[in-house]
Structures are given as C-alpha cells and as structure tokens.
Amino acid sequence: MAPGGGLVVMVKDWGQPAWARHFAKHLPGRLVAEWPDITGADAITYAAVWRPDPGALAKYPGLKVIFNLGAGVDHLLDDPTLPDVPVVRLVDQSLTAPMSEYIVFQVLLHFRQHLAYSELQRQKRWKPQRQPRAGAVGVGILGLGTLGLDAAGKLVGLGFDVAGWSRSPKTVEGVAGFNGNAQLDAFLQRTDILVSLLPATPETRGIANRSLFARLRRDGPLGGAVYINAGRGATQNEADILAALEAGELAGASIDVFETEPLDADSPIWHHPGVVITPHVAADTDLDAAAMSIIAQITNFEAGRPLAHVVDRARGY
Ligand code: NDP
Ligand code: OXD
C-alpha cells in the first residue's frame, strides 16, 4: 500500500504501544501516532481504537474512518462528541472462531454436568448423574449475528436443538428462527440453555433480567435453565441473575462480561457454586489478524471501494 493518510492508535489498558508497533510494521512510510500525542493531528485520516477517552476522537479534524479493535462498539457510540464518520467494527475469523470455542465449551460444561462432577470429585464420591441426550436440550441464542450464527452452526453439529433470536427474521438451516419482541416468549419457552451474544444498545440494555429468566424452560432434561453471556454485561442485571439462581429459575450460569468490569471483588456472584466466571476473554482480538483486516479495509477505502462492517449508528450496532 502506498503511504497515505496517517493513523492514530488509541487503546485503553490493552497494550497501546504493541498495537502501534504492529500498525507501523504493516504501514511502512505512513504516519502512525499514539494517543495522546496530537502534534500531527491534522495529518490523521484513520483511528484504530479500543475504549478511547470520550472526546479524544474529536481532536482530529481530518478523520475519515474509525476502526474499532473489537466487535462491540457501545463504548464508542456512548461518546456524544464522536465524529460523524464511518465506524467500522472488527469482523474476523480470528475473533469468531474463539468465541464459538467459548460458547461450545460452556454449553458442554453445563450439559455434561461438570460442576456437579467437580464437587463430587472434591468429596471423593462416585455418583453417576443421569445424562440427557443433546437433541433433547434446547439451546437458544440471543443475537444471531456474526458470532451467534457461527456458534449456532457448531452447536447444531453437536446435535443440540438450536434456536436463535434476532431483530430481523433469519432462515438458517437447522436453527429455529425467532425475531422481535413478539416472538421472544416462544423462543424462551423452548430454551434450556440461553446463550447471549447481543450487543449493548438502548434496546438490549438490561434485557437479561428476572422476568426473562422466569420465562425459560425449567422442566427440561437438565432440570433447570442455564444462562451464558459472552456479549455485553450491560445487557444483564447481575442482582437478578443471583435472585433467579436462588429462586431456581436458573440452575447455572457462565458469564464472561459484566455490568462493571473488572467485576468487583465483593460481588457475591464470584462465590455462587453454579456460576462460572471468566474475565471478558471469550474471544480475544488477535493483533496481527486485526491489523491485517484493518489494513485491507484502508486499501479498499483508498481505492474507492466500500468499507465492510460499518456500524449502523441508529441501531447502535
Ligand atoms: P452482530 O452485529 O453481527 O450481531 C448482533 C446480533 O444481535 C444480530 O443478530 C442482531 O439482530 C441482534 N440484535 C441486536 N439488537 C437486537 C434487538 N434489539 N433484538 C433482537 N436482536 C437484536 O454482532 P457480533 O455477532 O459480531 O457480536 C455480538 C457482540 O458480541 C458484540 O456486540 C460484542 O458486544 C460481543 N463480543 C464479546 C466478546 C467477548 O470477548 N466477550 C468478543 C467479541 C464480541 P439482526 O441480525 O436482526 O441485526
Ligand atoms: C468485544 C471484543 O467487543 O473483544 O468485546 O471484540
């Protein structure tokens, strides 16, 4: 690629210098700046960002495209001074494949009753549990986008009875499709294991709450419903998760994303025996793959071709 407009790298708490080195290596001759150095701000055309300080992007008058270094853009759209240029989110197999690994792993962990066997092992007790078959278990995926679709396909491959819920209707082979608020109840009623891969938007904030958990199937083969969230913490109410676990509306959970991250050390959710907690690691962005994907987009953009994966600001994802 011939040298062109400069790129500023703004990465909060996630190795900004390493990201800048990667871009500089792959963009020889091009200005690669690191926030908060704004000495060459007029020469900046592109920004590669992860959780930039609110107001920071507005300091670049020539900015033409904002590339998000992850899939979720809620942190960007919350900034009222965000420049009115395309925001491109990261869509790459290097993100999609690990997310499906995480989802499949957590579904199997609950399905194969691993938490119960861990406890039995701790107690040195030999006590086989009744194991249902995968086809009898309804796995429902909230959010049938890039990540949800891939995970759905892999769960279908394992024989689960998979459904998906999205905003717009979808036809996916082997997956029962539900969309919109009008079909949410029917989706929940057939779901034993609920997987959330929703973005945080004004419409999805707090959607995983007590009322939603109470509508999941409770008399299914697992003897209770399971909640898995690897989308965004803002879509759930953690006090409600605990209350639903106590009330038996949920039998277990695996949670990767939280309302406030890092999760407070005093949160009672850390100690719940039916809950698996991971620190927002379901799918970690791969530096090389992300840099190459963004560079390919810049090449297209400078050749007059359309950008891919541009966020719809009105929808919020
Ligand atoms: P997409 O934009 O491809 O998919 C989002 C899905 O959510 C779509 O199916 C969309 O419906 C659906 N959706 C959005 N709003 C609603 C609504 N109001 N009602 C019903 N369905 C809705 O996103 P990705 O699959 O790429 O990523 C999903 C999220 O995963 C990201 O936004 C991010 O927050 C999170 N993430 C978490 C990671 C982690 O490590 N924990 C890593 C990467 C991403 P429709 O198809 O109709 O548009
Ligand atoms: C995210 C990501 O959006 O890591 O969480 O991509």
Counting every residue written for the chain, the total comes to 317
Q: How many CA atoms lie within 13 A of 10 on its CB side?
A: 25
- Residue nearest to ligand 2 atom 3, measured at CA: 72
Number of the ligand 1 atom closest to the C-alpha atom of 147: 25
| Centre of ligand 2 from the C-alpha of residue 71, in Å | 5
Tokens of 267: 């949160």
| Centre of ligand 2 from the C-alpha of residue 248, in Å | 31
pLDDT in tens, 234-246: 999 999 999 999 9
Name 124's Cβ contacts closer than 8 Å, sequence gap at least 6: none
Number of the ligand 1 atom closest to the C-alpha atom of 317: 2
pLDDT in tens, 199-244: 999 999 999 999 999 999 999 999 999 999 999 999 999 999 999 9
Q: How many CB atoms lie within 10 A of CB 270?
A: 11
| Centre of ligand 2 from the C-alpha of residue 72, in Å | 5
71 CB under 6 A from ligand 2? yes
Q: CA 254, CA 92: separation in Å to the nearest integer?
A: 24
Closest CA to 68 of 93, 91, 84, 45: 91
pLDDT in tens, 119-176: 999 999 999 999 999 999 999 999 999 999 999 999 999 999 999 999 999 999 999 9
User: What percent of the chain has pLDDT above 70?
Assistant: 99
pLDDT at 194 over 80: yes
Q: CA 172, CA 192: separation in Å to the nearest integer?
A: 20
Span 289-297, mean pLDDT? 96
pLDDT of residue 111: 98
Radius of gyration of the chain (CA): 21
Model confidence, pTM? 0.97
Which ligand is closest to the CA of 233, given by its number?
Answer: 1
pLDDT at 1 over 60: no
pLDDT of residue 298: 97
pLDDT in tens, 59-110: 999 999 999 999 999 999 999 999 999 999 999 999 999 999 999 999 999 9
Backbone angles phi, psi at 195, to 5 degrees: -115, 125
pLDDT at 248 over 60: yes
- Residue nearest to ligand 2 atom 6, measured at CA: 70
Which ligand is closest to the CA of 234, given by its number?
Answer: 1
76 CB under 6 A from ligand 1? no
CA-based angle 87:93:97, to the nearest 5?
125
Task: Give the pLDDT band (50/70/90) at residue 4.
Answer: confident
Q: How many CB atoms lie within 10 A of CB 145?
A: 19
Q: Which residues are catalytic?
A: 232, 280
pLDDT in tens, 8-61: 999 999 999 999 999 999 999 999 999 999 999 999 999 999 999 999 999 999
Arithmetic mean of pLDDT over the chain:
97
105's enclosing H/E stretch is: helix 93-111
Number of the ligand 2 atom closest to the C-alpha atom of 72: 3
pLDDT at 3 over 70: no
